[in-house]
Chains A and B, each alone.
Chain A
Amino acid sequence: MSAILLIAIPLLAAFLSIMLKKFAPYLLLGVGVFNVVLLFLIPEGFVILGGFNQPLGINLLLDTYSKIALMLVNAVVVVIAFVNIKEYSKFSSILLIAIAGLNGLILTNDLFNLYVFLEISAIAAYLISTSNKKPVKTFHYIIIGAVGSSLFLFGVVILYAMFGTLNMVDLIQKIQLTNNYSQLILPFLLMFIGLGVEVKLLPFNSWVKGVLGESNTLSGPMIASAYAAAFGFVLGRLITNLFLFEGSLLTVVTVILAVGIVMGDLMAFASNKAREILLYSSVAQAAIVAMLFVNGIVIWAVYLIVANALSKLVMFLVVNKAVKDVGSDEVNKLQGLFSKNVIVGLAFTLVTLSVMGLPLLVGFTLKLRYLTELASLNQIWLIAVILVASLIEGIYFVKLLLKLWYEGQEKVEVKYNVTFKVVFVIIAIALLTFGTYSTPLNNLDDSIDTITEVVNNG
Chain B
Amino acid sequence: MIQYAAIILFVFGFYGLLTNKNVIKMIISLNIMEIGLNIFIISIGFVYDGIAPIISSTVDAGLIYVDPLPQALVLTAIVIGVGTTALALAVAKSIYSKHHTFDLDEVEEAL
Contact = CB atoms under 8 A, between A and B. Distances in A.
Contact of A160 (B23, B44, B98): B44
B66 interface: no
Interface string A136-149: 10110011001100
B88 A112 contact: no
B30 A116 contact: no
B87 A142 contact: yes
Contacts of A139: 23, 26, 88, 91-92, 95
B73 interface: yes
B17 A147 contact: yes
Q: Is the interface of B mostly helix, strand, loop or mixed?
A: helix
Nearest to B84: A146
B30 A154 contact: no
B68 interface: no
Contacts of A143: 17, 26, 30, 88
Given A123-B83, A127-B87, A160-B70, A135 B94 contact: yes
B41 A138 contact: no
A130 to B, nearest CB: 7
Given A116-B76, A135-B98, A139-B23, A147 B33 contact: yes
A157 B6 CA distance: 13
Nearest to B108: A136
Nearest to B36: A150
Interface residues of A, number: 23
Contacts of A154: 10, 37, 40
Interface in A422-446: none
Interface string B78-98: 001001100110011011001
Nearest to B3: A161
Nearest to A112: B73
B76 to A, nearest CB: 6
Contacts of A161: 44
A153 B73 CA distance: 10
Nearest to B85: A146
B12 interface: no
B14 A147 contact: yes
A119 interface: yes
A115 B37 CA distance: 14
A156 to B, nearest CB: 9
Contacts of B37: 150, 153-154, 157
Contacts of A135: 91, 94-95, 98
Nearest to B77: A153
A136 B84 contact: no
Interface centre among A135, A138, A154 (most CB of B within 10 A): A135
A253 B30 CA distance: 27
Interface string B1-40: 0000000001000100100000100100010011001001
Contacts, number: 68
A192 interface: no
B104 interface: yes
B28 to A, nearest CB: 12
B47 interface: no
A147 to B, nearest CB: 7
Given A143-B26, A150-B33, A130 B44 contact: no
A126 B83 CA distance: 12
Contact of A123 (B23, B73, B87): B87
A126 B44 CA distance: 31
Contacts of A136: 95, 99, 104, 107
Contacts of B107: 136
Given A112-B73, A116-B76, A130 B84 contact: no
A204 B52 CA distance: 40
A90 to B, nearest CB: 15
Which of A112, A138, A150, A153 has the most CB atoms of chain B within a 10 A radius of its CB?
Answer: A150
Contact of B80 (A116, A126, A130, A138): A116
Nearest to B72: A112
B69 to A, nearest CB: 8
A138 B93 CA distance: 12
Contacts of A130: 91, 94
Interface of B: 10, 14, 17, 23, 26, 30, 33-34, 37, 40-41, 44, 69-70, 73, 76-77, 80, 83-84, 87-88, 91-92, 94-95, 98-99, 104, 107
17 contacts: A112-B76, A116-B80, A123-B87, A126-B87, A127-B87, A130-B94, A135-B94, A139-B26, A139-B91, A142-B88, A142-B91, A143-B88, A150-B33, A154-B40, A157-B41, A157-B73, A160-B44
- A-B residue pairs, 8 tightest by C-beta: A135-B94, A135-B95, A161-B44, A119-B80, A139-B91, A142-B88, A157-B41, A135-B91
Given A116-B76, A139-B26, 13 more contacts: A112-B76, A119-B84, A126-B87, A139-B88, A139-B92, A142-B84, A142-B91, A147-B14, A153-B37, A153-B77, A154-B10, A160-B44, A160-B70
Interface of A: 112, 115-116, 119, 123, 126-127, 130, 135-136, 138-139, 142-143, 146-147, 150, 153-154, 157, 160-161, 166
